[in-house]
Amino acid sequence: MSQLKVYVGNLSYDTTQDDLHELFGQCGAIAEIKLITDRETGRSKGFSFVTFDDSQAVDAALEINGQEFQGRRLKVNLAKEDTGRRTGGGAGGAGGGNGGGGRRW
């Protein structure tokens, strides 16, 4: 299976999903855009993931790497698969009878 998701970094904090759809829609059909935002403020964290319908659109999107967009030079790469680094590991979650309170490290 070919990689259909790209990482887009170095975005302006003012960038919206509509802005990204307009930019990357020129590359081909978009399946999903996920603009990563801060949970508390709702403001962009400066990066996004764009998933396309086909690999030709991905190739076109990768050519945007280094281009200026909203005053910033974009970083566009193939997205890396989630390695599960946020799972917390083996000993932190189950057992211990701490009543579900936070993680203990």
Per-domain residue ranges of the chain: 5-78
Q: The whole model's pTM is what?
A: 0.76
Q: Where do the H-state alpha helices sit in 6-96?
A: 17-24, 55-62
Kindly report the CATH number that applies to the domain delimited by 5-78.
3.30.70.330
55: tokens are 């690999």
Coarse DSSP helix, strand, coil percentages of the chain, rounded to the nearest 5 percent? 15, 30, 55
* pLDDT reported for residue 33: 98
Q: Given pLDDT bands bounded at 50, 70 and 90, which one contains residue 81? A: confident
Q: State the sign of the Cα–Cα–Cα–Cα dihedral 25, 78, 64, 49.
A: positive
| Other CB atoms within 10 A of residue 61 CB | 25
Question: What is the average per-residue pLDDT within 76-101?
Answer: 62
Per-residue pLDDT tens digits for 20-75: 999 999 999 999 999 999 999 988 999 999 999 999 999 999 999 999 999 999 99
Query: Using CA atoms, how far apart are residues 2 and 98, in angstroms rounded to an integer?
Result: 44
